[in-house]
Amino acid sequence: MTKRRSVKCLIFGFAFFLAGLLLVSCGKKSDTIKIGIILPLTGDLAKFGEIEKNSFMMALEEINALGAVHGKKLELVIEDTQGKPEIARSALEKLVTQDKVVMIGGGYSSSETYAAVSVAQKQKVPFLVNTGAADNITEQGYEYIFRLNPPVSEYPSSLESFLKESAKDVKTAVILFENSLFGQSGSKEFEAQATKWGLKVLLKEGYAKGAIDFKPLLTKVREKNPDLIYMISYYMDASLLIRQSMELNINPKLFVGGAAGFTLPEFLKNSGKATEYVYSATLWTPTVPYKGAKEYYDKYLNKFKEPTEYHGAEAYAAMYVIADAIKRAKTPAPADIREALTKTDMMTVFGPVKFISYGKMTQQNKLPTFLVQWQNGQLETVWPKDVATKKYIYPIPPWNARK
């Protein structure tokens, strides 16, 4: 055999060996069940995405430590949406067609979530939304879409009872909101609710995402002199709104945030002393009467050296709901998991989870909400009374009467 021929044989043999390995690899079944997660991990909403990612991964570790599901471990494939609808759509498409996930979780902002749910429905892959809150996300009649968290229209439910019982002299309101799907949906619903409660809405006005100078808008608010200012904002604009309200000496009886940016530790960092006495609707606190709620909070704080809040609790609970559905499904196939989700009835650290239909909504979980207030640099639960960590301070003192 010539040297050249010998080299050719070696090359051919090696190529044949590699091809064999590739065939074996392609034919080998995965030893994990893949679940896709979409979250904003970069961009303006990255802090929310970070809290949720940490909570998903913490729950995943606990679940996998308890044993296999259908003989396999669960694996999360996480895609960054950057908080943008078009990226969320393509990320979900990739997770389904390339990564072959059996279901989807996550979904932070309403805009990105609303864009993504239609893709999940088209691909017939179940999507458990844990944060995107615009009402219309579960108003499309989609059979593959489920939502863990309350819709934005239900965020102020605790505020309603607070006003009726403890702030009866509040008669007028102003509504400020980011001009996003979340803000538009929330402001529309709150205006209708406020009118129903007997409040006169003096002004409802949106602002562009990324705005930094709110003084022209707030000057209008000061002229109206409302009893209540309700703001639907993420944390950067929430901080600017409250700081500039202090600078303009705007003194309502209540500043109330519509959750989102008003419950993060970053709100305190960015707002400083202006944070004091600000109220916010919230969906969860560590003091809620749900088994494991405080333990989750403590574990997160110990592991990541910073506090968590309702966004993290949503993600942590969602991971357990996903695992429960996959475990109960006949097979780890999307259609079977979807069927199992419809029969979900369990308790989580975020509260009970059972997907029902009411009003225009389908496959929507229904939960109570809470009212918190910043006091002495701490976010205290103040309503309802049975879960309160501190008594509420009302009316809030004027800026010039504070220490």
Q: CB neighbours (10 Å) of residue 13?
A: 10
Q: What are 177-226's pLDDT values in tens digits?
A: 999 999 999 999 999 999 999 999 999 999 998 889 999 999 999 999 99
Residue 9, pLDDT > 70, answer no
Q: Which pLDDT belongs to residue 16?
A: 42
Cα 287–chain centre separation: 19
284 confidence band (pLDDT: 50, 70, 90) = very high
Among the residue ranges 28-32, 261-265, 382-386, 394-398, the one predicted with the least confidence is: 28-32
Percent of the chain with pLDDT over 90: 86
Q: Which pLDDT belongs to residue 261?
A: 85
Mean pLDDT over the full length of the chain: 92
Q: Which pLDDT belongs to residue 45?
A: 92
Q: Which pLDDT belongs to residue 209?
A: 83
DSSP symbols for 245-306: HHHTT---SEEEE-SGGGSSHHHHHHHGGGGTT-EEEES--TTSSSTTHHHHHHHHHHHHSS
Residue 109, pLDDT > 90, answer yes
Contact predicate 399/246, CB 8 Å: yes
Question: Look-up: residue for tokens 């893709």?
Answer: 119
Q: What mean pLDDT do residues 250-268 have? A: 91
Residue 19, pLDDT > 70, answer no
Q: Which pLDDT belongs to residue 29?
A: 60
Does residue 395 have a cis bond before it (omega within 30 degrees)?
yes
Q: What are the φ/ψ torsions at residue 97 (nearest 5 degrees)?
A: -85, -35
Q: Which pLDDT belongs to residue 20?
A: 44
Q: What mean pLDDT do residues 117-124 have? A: 98
Question: Look-up: residue for tokens 């944060």?
Answer: 131
Question: Look-up: residue for tokens 């220490």?
Answer: 403
CA distances (Å), origin 215, targets 121, 204, 212? 43, 16, 9
Q: Which pLDDT belongs to residue 7?
A: 43
**What is the SS3 string spanning 188-239?**
HHHHHHHHHCCCEEEEEEEECCCCCCCHHHHHHHHHHCCCEEEEECCHHHHH
27 confidence band (pLDDT: 50, 70, 90) = very low
Residue 128, pLDDT > 60, answer yes
Rounded CA gap, 175 and 31, in Å? 51
Q: Which pLDDT belongs to residue 349?
A: 98
Q: What mean pLDDT do residues 108-124 have? A: 97
Residue 379, pLDDT > 60, answer yes
Q: What mean pLDDT do residues 60-69 have? A: 94
Q: What mean pLDDT do residues 372-397 have? A: 95
Q: Which pLDDT belongs to residue 68?
A: 87
Contact predicate 53/106, CB 8 Å: no
Q: What mean pLDDT do residues 358-363 have? A: 97
Domains and CATH numbers, the chain: 32-150+289-364 (3.40.50.2300), 154-282+370-401 (3.40.50.2300)
